Chains A and B, each alone.
Chain A
Amino acid sequence: MLPRPRRPRQLADLGVRVASAFGALLGIVILAWILGEVIRRGLSAFSWEFFTSLPGPPASVGGGLANAMLGTLAMTALGTAMGVPVGILAGMYLAEYGHEGKFGMLVRFLSNVMMGIPSIIIGLFVYTLVVVPFGHFSGYAGAISLALLILPIVARTTEDMLSMVPNAFRESALALGAPRWRVTLGVVLRAARAGVITGVLLAVARVGGETAPLLFTALNSPYWPRSLSGPTANLTVTIFNYAMSPYTGWQQAAWGASLVITLAILLLNGAARLVTREKK
């Protein structure tokens, strides 16, 4: 067999090299483009008033989104408080009891599946489950949606982290006469603490910027969130409503809200990275 000529092969190789460098460059350009626009347009909306007061009427200049920031914070905190403990306990079951059994396998499989189900479906589910029976939209329904999104993520990361703890830890604690539950909570969970915290932070970062599950549950509101039992102001649905409005003042406020959300999510991601690094 004659060797193929070298020239075209080298040209093809060069072409692919250039193309792949171009692909990586495109990814970076898109990231820089998005972040650049969000920062540039968002900063122009920032002011003392933006962070401290209620939104103004349409077509007006000024006003702020303090109520929406507070509402997003409250619902995310409540959703985290509900979803994380259940998720960690479920992860403990999978790691400590459900390694081989059919029930454990099924829960593990469905957790993976649920992580890929669109968040708008969760919003629809909570609408039928909470909003319809109570007859009105509420911040509680929004928080429940977020909790349901957090649950499978935290369950799976907790399981992965606990499974990495060597069995010698469990055996030595059991040999000292500690009951299984104390071994799991006091030894295994402690040993895997950094990984579990990272998982929780990433889960919160993922649901904190969610819009779709809040559309039919928390809805939105122009007022302060005095309680979560009624429609509750939040940043992401506000961005959606304001962006679709014809008022430039509102559109600018939407950019401000976008920058707030982006900064918060990126900070959470950075914090998660920092926790993992400390562990190593």
Chain B
Amino acid sequence: MAVQQARQRTGDLVFKILTALCAAAVLALVLGILVELMRNSSVAMHKFGLKFLVSSAWNPVTEDFGALSTIFGTLVSTLLAMLIAVPLSLMIALFLVELAPPALAKPVGYAIELLAAIPSIIYGMWGLFVFAPFMADHIQPFLTKTVGFIPLFQGPPMGIGMLTAGIILAFMILPFISAVMRDVFAMVPAVIKESAYGMGATTWEVTRQVTVRYGLRGLVGAGLLGLGRAIGETMAVTFVIGNDHSISASLFAASNSIASTLANEFAEASTPVYLAALVELGLVLFVITFAIQVATQLWLARIKRVAEGR
């Protein structure tokens, strides 16, 4: 009996250690990425220092590299995507929760979710061969004609460029944001909404003054989730952003993001400094996305605590 118990205890200990090691693999992964990216970018870090972050140079011939144009492209394409996707997601969530009859809400919700399952390279293919020509033939000439006096919408309608990348990013993050917003809307207690309806408020007034206010934190969380997805999205952006290391006032111009630069140029990087500069770009992207994810997780955890009344 005692022997059997001892054997059991050893078995349990081995199992606990094994599972703990597997859990520690996640920790090792995070630390490993940080250490490896810093180690492999040290050549560029020593050569350029902090100037790397504010220089817009990108010249493989003279080996002068800076991250500014790619950081700019990453931020602007993400901002465009958020400007389009957040209001659109709000509308979709509103439709699914408040307006559509249940028989319609279910298949529509499923179709929107399906957008999230499509791999990003498919968005890239569709973006390059279908959507970019559509932009060049219809959307861009229309924008030039109507709001062309603003520098943002000037320049030749090439189809590809910052605006197209932003729009396709918006389509990609739409399902993630709208799914969370839908859950937030559905969590608002019916009594609160009904009392507003009872006062004679319209659906839009209830949404604006009751539902949105009640679930504001959750809506911000939904936006943060979408932001994290958009900022590191690689393939779809690489296909349509145009891949040009310049900072332009026009949204029609070809541009670049950190992820698309890595995808495009890594295979060509022939010198140690070029390679190290690309790895340092990766490090910058890792630090930005890590910070956004940490903020998102802390924010969501706080909402959960508040919702559980702790």
CB distance from B93 to the nearest CB of A (A): 8
**Chain B residues close to A by CB (< 8 Å):** 8, 11-12, 14-16, 18-20, 22-27, 29-30, 32-33, 36-37, 39-40, 88-89, 91-92, 94-96, 99-100, 108, 111-112, 114-115, 117-126, 128-130, 171, 174-175, 178, 202-205, 207, 225, 228-229, 231-235, 238-239, 259, 262-263, 266-267, 279, 282, 285-286, 289-290, 292-294, 296-297
Residue A19 at the B interface, CB < 8 A?
yes
Is the beta-carbon distance between B96 and A24 smaller than 8 angstroms? yes
> Which A residues are CB-close (under 8 A) to B229?
116
Decide: B121 and A258 in contact? CB cutoff 8 A: yes
Nearest 3 A-B pairs (CB), nearest first? A118-B232, A209-B119, A23-B91
Query: Which of B92, B205, B207, B231 is within 8 Å of A24, CB to CB?
Result: B92
Distance of A140 Cα from B286 Cα, bound (Å) = 24
A106 with B27, Cβ < 8 A, contacts A34-B126, A38-B122, A211-B234 known? yes
B residues in contact with A265, CB < 8 Å:
117-119
Cβ-based interface call for A165 (8 A): no
| A94 on interface, CB distance cutoff 8 Å | yes
Beta-carbon contact of B128 and A90 below 8 Å: no
Bitwise, A136-170 to B at CB < 8 A (1) or not (0) is: 00000000000010011001000000000000000
Residues of A participating in the B interface, judged by any CB pair closer than 8 Å: 9-10, 12-13, 15-17, 19-24, 26-28, 30-31, 33-35, 37-38, 41, 86-87, 89-90, 92-94, 96-98, 103-104, 106-107, 109-114, 116-122, 124-125, 127-129, 132, 148, 151-152, 155, 179-181, 184, 205, 208-212, 215-216, 219, 236, 239-240, 243, 251, 254-255, 258, 261-262, 265-266, 269
- In chain B, what residue has the closest Cβ to A215? B263
Q: Is the CB of A27 within 8 A of B115?
A: yes
Cα(A127)–Cα(B8), bound, Å: 42
> Are B286 and A216 neighbours in the complex by a CB distance under 8 Å?
no
Count of chain A to chain B residue pairs whose CB atoms are closer than 8 Å in the complex: 257
* Cβ of B256 to closest chain A Cβ, rounded Å: 14
Chain A residue at minimum C-beta to C-beta distance from B170: A30
When distances are taken between beta carbons in the complex, the residues of chain B under 8 Å from A116 are 225, 228-229, 289, 292-293, 296
Supposing A117-B293, A155-B26 touch, asked if A27 and B174 sit within 8 A by C-beta, the answer is yes
Give me 10 A-to-B residue pairs in the complex whose CB atoms sit less than 8 angstroms apart, sorted by A's number.
A16-B204, A27-B112, A28-B108, A93-B16, A111-B26, A117-B286, A118-B289, A205-B117, A258-B122, A269-B114
A251 contact set on B, CB distance < 8 A: 129
Instruction: Chain B residues near A92: list those with CB within 8 A.
Output: 19
Q: Which of A89, A122, A124 contacts B22 (CB 8 A)?
A: A89
- Candidates A20, A21, A148, A243; contact of B129 at CB < 8 Å: A243
Interface residues of B: mostly helix, strand, loop or mixed? helix
In the complex the two chains form, is A16's CB within 8 Å of B94's CB? yes
Complex CA–CA separation, A22 to B108 (angstroms): 12
Q: Which of B95, B118, B263 contacts A20 (CB 8 A)?
A: B95
Per the bound structure, the CA–CA distance linking A128 and B27 in Å amounts to: 18
- In the complex, the answer to whether B203 meets A17 with C-beta atoms within 8 Å is yes
Judging by beta carbons under 8 Å apart, are B30 and A114 in contact? yes
Verify A13–B205 contact, CB threshold 8 A: yes
CB distance from B266 to the nearest CB of A (A): 5
Q: Decide: B22 and A86 in contact? CB cutoff 8 A.
A: yes
In Å, the complex CA distance between A117 and B285 comes to 9
Look across to chain A and name the residue whose beta carbon is closest to the beta carbon of B282.
A124
Name the one of B33, B89, B91, B292 contacting A121, with C-beta atoms under 8 angstroms: B33
Is the beta-carbon distance between A128 and B39 smaller than 8 angstroms? yes
Instruction: Provide the bound-state CA to CA distance between A180 and B12, in Å.
Output: 6
Cross-chain contact B26 with A33 (CB below 8 angstroms):
no
Q: How far is the CA of A87 from the CA of B22 in the complex (A)?
A: 7
Contact A118 B233 (CB under 8 A): yes
Query: Does the CB pair B202–A10 fall under 8 Å?
Result: yes
CB pair B29 A148 closer than 8 Å? yes
Chain B residues with CB under 8 A of A243 = 124-125, 128-129, 239
A239 touching B279, Cβ below 8 Å? no
